[in-house]
Amino acid sequence: MRLKLGILALAALLSVVGCTQKEAEVDALLRSKVDALNRASFKSRYDAASLSERYAQRALAYVNDSLPGYDDGRLRAWNNIATSYYNRAEHDSVYLYVDSVLSFNGKSPNLKVEQVLASLLKARTLQRHCDIAGSYRLLYDIEQSGLLDGSEDDLLHNLARSEFYITTTTLNYHYRNKSQYQQAELLTTMEAKRHQLRCDYAEDMSFNYAIAYGYYALCDDSINRSHYLGKALNYCFDNFRILNDSLRYNTYHLGNTYQLLGFMLWSPQIDAASWQSNIPLLEEICHYVRDAFGFDVFDYYPYSADGTLDIRQSTLAYPFLSEAASLFFLHDDPYQRLGAVVATGRYCMARGDTATARLYFNEALIDSTMLGVAPKFEAMLYEGLLTSGMAKNNSDVVSWTRKELELLSYIKQNEKADFILQQQLDKARYDSGRFMLFTIILLVLAIALFVTLLLLRRRTKALQRETARLQAAKQQDVERIANVETCLSVLRHDITPFVSYLQNEHLPEELKREVTGQLIRTFENIKNWTNLSIPSGLQFRCTTVSLQQVFDSVASSVNNFRAPRVKLSFAETDLAVRGDRLLLEILLRNLVNNAIQHTEDGIVGVGAEPYAADTRFICVTISDTGCGMSEEQLENLFRADKHIDASGAKEQGYGTGFGLILCRYIIKKHDDNTIRGCRIWAESEPGKGSSFHFLVEAVKQNP
């Protein structure tokens, strides 16, 4: 029964996993469809605005129905729909979708950049309605936010940066009269950024058009007019080269570029001399559009008797303006259609061709969808209707005059509001600049103060280190003197009995050898003590030490002068420790010699094992079956300031000679240079022998 239940549970789990995987695959497929529809909408935004909207609406439907959490797709669809409405001059719908993006509070990774794009689209829509202040406010906020100053290099961020420059240029050159310096500075920045902002070819053409229009607007500069005209012509030529590719051909951008060429050819501020220096480039452009697009304008070329071309006396602007108007009638955008027919009609009026001008002005009256989309162009239209004499009665004159005055008043009010806003924002920039300067000054002062304090702190630390060094040197001198005193004191204490023994003429030879050996060991310990206790002496060299090698070395070098009666035993071990091998051998040799000296008959054993109380240490034990020690002797065993009478060594115990003091000092060296906790101690009972133990850092064995 349990087996069946387990199988059923496993099957249910696999079905859940399978469903989850299948849902993930469906989700990924739907996302790819949404992304594909949004890309198609974006690419067709200029070619077919209605088709662009349909693509975006389908993407939005997928998101709403099946992917409610896919906010990236939703925001992109909203902005695409708003763009399609902008390209059809359905401005109320533009505001609806743009505001949806701006008020969205989800967690989309692209939320900020999509909101910037929505703000830019809203700014361009406000420009069409001559709300220059509102447009400028949005551009100012975007610039101050720094959202476009990052290093992101993707389509959305590049599109936002490109649209920011295009919208700023449109505001400055279509609706304002900025200073020559400001215009040139902005165009220089745009040219520097141009190749970094690749989005698609439609955006490239919009960018080229904005720069070309900017240089055309700069042609009222009499000094650099010829240069600026050449710049504008070259950027127009770039657009024609892009449009010559059948995959990139677009009547919207072709009409825009034709219209700009018409404006330049019509412009009274560009003199004949400036045109004369750019005639070769103009002729090259005219040949190119004839060969690439079948648009032949050479019938309008008026050559003078000497073969030179006088643009000021030609009607070459007309074919470009009229062709632009024709191309814009292929699109759904009444804003562009109105601008094109008004521009062409005004040109005809300027050339004295009133009849043709009336045809263009009348076109706007017939197509009522053109009215109400652009106050600036509509005011020009009513001016053209009045000056061309199209009014059939006084009622038309009164009606058109009233509408023109209302529109001009509306435009004037917006220009005034923009001027006031510019003054306020310029003052805010100035105040911000002053605040920034003040902040920088305070920051510099703070840094200077910090550096001064840092230098003082370093100087103080240097003085502290020097003081500590002098104190340490003084302490070393004190210790050195104390060591000398201890050395002399212990030396006198240790060798006195042995000198007495050697002065005895009847001392047996065996005891003489023992006493002589003890004297030799004492002087060796004095040498080792001296090396360890002075700064320039023996250095502590910490390595991984095999205890078996230490045992073998001590076993071969120790002098067991009681070999017949005392057995010396070293237990085999595979343990390793961290320490100084030479010092460990001196330590162990002293303890073994000490044990042999005080064992009349029996065993001296040496072994090692992990310390049970703390496995970070290895405990080495030297045990004997000698005379043992009293509690008083144990308490004073390793103290140089307490001497126990060692005369009659066999009866009096272990004493406190150089050997044990040196052992304590070696253990202290290990405690200072490895890990804290290294120590040495002894356990003993009178008549039952003694055990000496010391702890050193263990080396972990590989499993």
Question: Average pLDDT for residues 251-265, to the nearest whole number?
Answer: 94
Residue spans of the domains in the chain: they are 538-698
Helix spans in 44-154 (H): 49-66, 71-86, 91-102, 111-128, 132-145
The answer on pLDDT for 220 being more than 90 is no
Phi/psi of residue 694, nearest 5 degrees: -140, 145
The answer on pLDDT for 515 being more than 80 is no
Share of the chain above pLDDT 70, in %: 80
What residues contact 285, with CB distance under 8 A and at least 6 apart?
233, 236, 237, 240, 261
- C-alpha to C-alpha distance for 458 and 352, rounded to whole angstroms: 86
- C-alpha to C-alpha distance for 653 and 107, rounded to whole angstroms: 84
Q: Which fold has domain 538-698?
A: Heat Shock Protein 90 (3.30.565)
Chain position carrying tokens 């920039």: 429
Answer yes or no: are the C-beta atoms of 577 and 696 closer than 8 Å.
Answer: yes
Question: Average pLDDT for residues 395-401, to the nearest whole number?
Answer: 89
Residues 37-87 have pLDDT tens digits of 999 999 999 889 999 999 999 999 999 999 999 999 999 999 999 999 999
- What was the pLDDT predicted at 14? 44
pLDDT band at 562 (very low <50, low <70, confident <90, very high): confident
- What was the pLDDT predicted at 654? 42
- What was the pLDDT predicted at 349? 92
- What was the pLDDT predicted at 656? 45
Question: Average pLDDT for residues 682-689, to the nearest whole number?
Answer: 89
Residues 268-296 have pLDDT tens digits of 888 888 888 898 999 999 999 999 999 99
Residue 63: closest CA among 113, 104, 21: 104
The answer on pLDDT for 433 being more than 60 is yes
The answer on pLDDT for 427 being more than 80 is no
Q: What string of DSSP letters covers 169-209?
A: HHHHHHS----HHHHHHHHHHHHHHGGG----HHHHHHHHH
Question: Average pLDDT for residues 2-6, to the nearest whole number?
Answer: 51
- What was the pLDDT predicted at 496? 58
Question: Average pLDDT for residues 412-418, to the nearest whole number?
Answer: 76
Answer yes or no: are the C-beta atoms of 97 and 76 closer than 8 Å.
Answer: no
Least confident range from 222-226, 526-530, 680-684: namely 526-530
- What was the pLDDT predicted at 465? 87
Residue 163: closest CA among 216, 214, 123: 123
Least confident range from 110-119, 455-464, 630-639: namely 630-639
- C-alpha to C-alpha distance for 73 and 66, rounded to whole angstroms: 12
Amino acid at residue number 618: I
- C-alpha to C-alpha distance for 282 and 401, rounded to whole angstroms: 40
To the nearest 10°, report the CA torsion of 682, 640, 590, 651. -70
Which of 661-672 are b and which e, b meaning 16 or more Cβ less than 10 Å from the residue's Cβ? Answer: bbbbbbbebbbe
Backbone region of residue 566 per phi and psi (left: phi > 0; alpha: psi in -120 to 50; beta: other values) = beta
The answer on pLDDT for 545 being more than 80 is yes
- What was the pLDDT predicted at 158? 93
Q: Which helix (H) or strand (E) holds 437?
A: helix 394-503
Question: Average pLDDT for residues 6-24, to the nearest whole number?
Answer: 50
Residues 353-396 have pLDDT tens digits of 999 999 999 988 888 888 888 888 888 998 998 999 888 888 88
DSSP 298: G
Question: Average pLDDT for residues 104-112, to the nearest whole number?
Answer: 91
The answer on pLDDT for 338 being more than 60 is yes
The most confident of 85-99, 399-413, 586-600, by mean pLDDT: 85-99
The most confident of 98-102, 130-134, 176-180, 665-669, by mean pLDDT: 98-102
- C-alpha to C-alpha distance for 41 and 557, rounded to whole angstroms: 94
Whether the predicted model's global pTM rises above the 0.85 cut: no
- C-alpha to C-alpha distance for 283 and 249, rounded to whole angstroms: 22
- What was the pLDDT predicted at 649? 40
What residues contact 561, with CB distance under 8 A and at least 6 apart?
513, 514, 517, 596
Q: What string of DSSP letters covers 618-680?
A: EEEEEEE-S----HHHHHTTT-TT-----SSHHHH-----HHHHHHHHHHHHHHHHS-TT--E
The answer on pLDDT for 647 being more than 50 is no
What's the whole-number average pLDDT of the chain? 83
- What was the pLDDT predicted at 522? 67
DSSP 539: P
Share of the chain above pLDDT 90, in %: 41
Q: Between helices 334-350 and 375-387, what is the axis angle to 10°? A: 30
The answer on pLDDT for 664 being more than 60 is yes
The answer on pLDDT for 125 being more than 80 is yes
- C-alpha to C-alpha distance for 286 and 266, rounded to whole angstroms: 16
